[in-house]
Structure formats: structure tokens, C-alpha cells
């Protein structure tokens, strides 16, 4: 009976030893897993902080871009307003140029007509000069005839 109890005690001791070893191994594994968990938790915390910093940077970048966009929109509106003014001015100038071109054309026509009139008047003047010369010659001949007749 004692030997059976001794064997049972030995068996229990072996089981206790095996359980203690398993317990130590599990404690060790738990410690390793706990360290990994802490490391991963720290990594997660660092990642979240980094993500928050990036998010804040992105918000600032977006805010700056929105401000820049507002400025560019104002600049574009000003440029469009200037462009519209220039188009109106161009239309006005085209109208004035068209009127000036018409006046120039009328003046050129008047000038051509005046040149024709001057040519005609020169011709008339030449004819009259010839007639005057003929009349002066006749008058001279008449004077001579009058003198001879006296």
C-alpha cells in the first residue's frame, strides 16, 4: 500500500512539476505577449499621434490653400472686370475708328473731286489766258489800225 501511495505521490509530483513547468512557460509566454502588447500599444499611440499631427498639418495646408484660392478668385474677378472694361473700350475705339475711317474716305473723295475741279479750273484758266492773248493781239491790231487811220 505504501508503494502504491509512493507511486501516486511520485506521479502527482511529476504532474505538479509538469504543471509548474507549463505554468512557468505560460507565465513567460504571457510576459512576452504582455511586452508585445505594450509595444503594439505604444506603436498604436505613436501612430495615432503621428496621424493627428499629419491631420493638423493637412488642415493647415487646406486652410492655406483655401486662403490662396480666395486671393486667386479675387484676382481672377479683377482680371475679368479689367478684361470687360478693355472689351468695352475696344468696341468704343472700333466705333470711333469706323467713324474716322468714314470721314477719311469722305475727305479723300472730296480731295479727289477738288483735284478734278482744280484741273478743270486750270484748263479754263489756260483757255481764258489764250483768249485774253488773242483779244490783246486784236486790241493791239485795232490800236494800230486806229493810229494808221488817224
In a domain, 110, yes or no: yes
In a domain, 29, yes or no: yes
pLDDT at 1: 65
Residue 70 grid cell: 480666395
Q: What are the phi and psi torsion angles at 88 (to 5°)?
A: -65, -45
Mean pLDDT, the chain, whole residue set: 96
In a domain, 140, yes or no: no
Cα gap 35→55, rounded to integer Å: 29
Q: How many domains does the chain have?
A: 1
> Which is nearest to 73 in space by CA: 61, 63, 65?
65
3-state secondary structure of 57: helix
Residue 137 grid cell: 493781239
pLDDT at 51: 98
pLDDT at 98: 94
In a domain, 8, yes or no: yes
pLDDT at 48: 98
**Domain enclosing residue 10, as ranges:** 1-117
Q: What would the DSSP string read from start to end of 43-88? A: HHHHHHHHHHHHHHHHHHHHHHHHHHHHHHHHHHHHHHHHHHHHHH
pLDDT at 111: 98
Residue 143 grid cell: 490800236
In a domain, 146, yes or no: no
Cα gap 106→63, rounded to integer Å: 64
pLDDT at 2: 73
pLDDT at 3: 86
In a domain, 111, yes or no: yes
Summarised one tens digit per residue, pLDDT across range 53-84 is 999 999 999 999 999 999 999 999 999 999 99
In a domain, 18, yes or no: yes
In a domain, 142, yes or no: no
Segments of the chain with pLDDT less than 70 = 1
Amino acid at each position: 500500500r505504501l508503494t502504491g501511495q509512493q507511486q501516486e505521490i511520485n506521479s502527482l509530483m511529476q504532474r505538479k512539476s509538469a504543471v509548474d513547468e507549463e505554468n512557468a512557460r505560460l507565465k513567460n509566454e504571457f510576459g512576452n505577449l504582455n511586452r508585445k502588447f505594450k509595444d503594439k500599444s505604444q506603436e498604436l499611440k505613436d501612430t495615432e499621434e503621428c496621424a493627428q499631427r499629419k491631420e493638423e498639418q493637412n488642415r493647415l495646408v487646406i486652410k492655406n490653400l483655401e486662403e490662396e484660392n480666395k486671393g486667386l478668385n479675387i484676382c481672377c474677378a479683377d482680371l475679368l472686370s479689367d478684361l470687360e472694361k478693355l472689351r468695352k473700350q475696344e468696341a468704343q475705339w472700333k466705333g470711333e475708328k469706323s467713324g474716322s475711317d468714314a470721314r477719311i474716305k469722305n475727305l479723300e473723295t472730296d480731295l479727289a473731286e477738288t483735284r478734278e475741279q482744280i484741273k478743270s479750273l486750270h484748263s479754263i484758266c489756260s483757255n481764258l489766258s489764250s483768249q485774253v492773248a488773242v483779244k490783246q493781239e486784236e486790241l493791239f491790231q485795232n490800236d494800230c489800225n486806229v493810229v494808221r487811220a488817224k
